[in-house]
Amino acid sequence: MKGYVEERACTLGRYIVDTGSTVRKTAQVFGLSKSTVHGDVSSRLQKQNPALYKEVRAVLDKNKAERHIRGGMATKLKYSKEK
């Protein structure tokens, strides 16, 4: 069972790097909770594959820096639909 978790962490990390996806979107695609995805790509991946972890960390940091923009766009879209 331990091999599955390690393989899943690498798969999630590679997906995030390849697509630039957020943790929430990745969790939705793989049918996992966002806590599981975050734990896999931050804790497990750091110990298991440091090179991939650095790439994932760069994408996650970029997503974090842009999240206020995505939130604003979602709010704008929500209220534009109500009119």
Task: Report d(CA 81, CA 31) in Å as an integer.
Answer: 29
Positions of E strands within the chain: none
Q: What's the N-to-C CA distance of the chain in angstroms?
A: 52
**Model pLDDT, residue 12:** 96
Give residue-wise pLDDT tens across range 3-18: 888 899 999 999 999 9
**Model pLDDT, residue 26:** 96
Does the predicted TM-score (pTM) go above 0.85?
no
- Segment 60-82 shows an average pLDDT of 88
